[in-house]
Amino acid sequence: MIYDQSEFDLRCEWGAQGIAQLAPISDVVVIVDVLSFSTSVEIATNNGAIIFPYGMRDETVVDYAQSVQAELASHRLSTSRYTLSPTSLMQVPAGTRLVLPSLNGSTLTLLTGNTPTLAGCLRNCEAVAQFAQRYGSKIAVIPAGERWKEDGSLRPAFEDLIGAGAILSYLHGSLSPEAAMAVATFQTFQHDLLGYLKKSSSGKELIAKGFESDVELAAACNVSNCVPLFVNKAYVQRSH
């Protein structure tokens, strides 16, 4: 197939179509949604929480949370205890079962089928890379991107390309051009990740809503050994 980057060990492609092309022929998939699904999952599972991704925030998510005996995280601007804001999850107790709806990271996680799936971000980039290599040499790194509010189409997001490049920079094997571009982008901006994330469209959006602390948490590079692994409908911690 022209688009599956199959002649290379390390592959990188955006969003749902990227998963459709790469997951079936890869040993492992890494979902990268830096602001904020992957960062939230890393922080929560590092505390011992169990995170159930769910694609939509509609009436069905309430029933789903009940079916898996889990709390339901609310949207970021709510006053609920837990939300998609990484800051809200800093003190989540071990053993907490939490459904985390997300249009991007959760949706993509649920599309990977039987291919082992990890949640990667800047915080755990090296740990995720080392863990991913245990599954084999064919690794797909999927930057989630964001959605344009006007029509729901994919908006390739600076922060997810940076996160994908950070993970790919620690992997061994031949890089597709798409993966090499992600690595080069990370290397270009790694000297001031927080500064650039704050100036990115996604970062400015969060800061305008009062969530600068989320951007700060997401910009911390290589500070965690936690590897969130998707098993039995949930992300759980696997220390590398």
State how far the Cα of 84 lies from the Cα of 62, in Å rounded to an integer: 16
Residue-wise pLDDT for 215-224, tens only, equals 999 999 999 9
Domain ranges of the chain: 10-234
Residue-wise pLDDT for 181-209, tens only, equals 999 999 999 999 999 999 999 999 999 99
pLDDT at residue 56 above 90? no
pLDDT at residue 239 above 70? no
59 contacts: CB under 8 Å, gap ≥ 6 = none
10-234 fold: putative 2-phosphosulfolactate phosphatase (3.90.1560)
What are φ and ψ of residue 119, in 5° steps?
-105, 120
Residue 77 CB coordination number (10 Å): 12
- pLDDT band for 240, please (50, 70, 90 cuts): low
Average pLDDT of the residues in 64-73: 96
* pTM (two decimals): 0.97
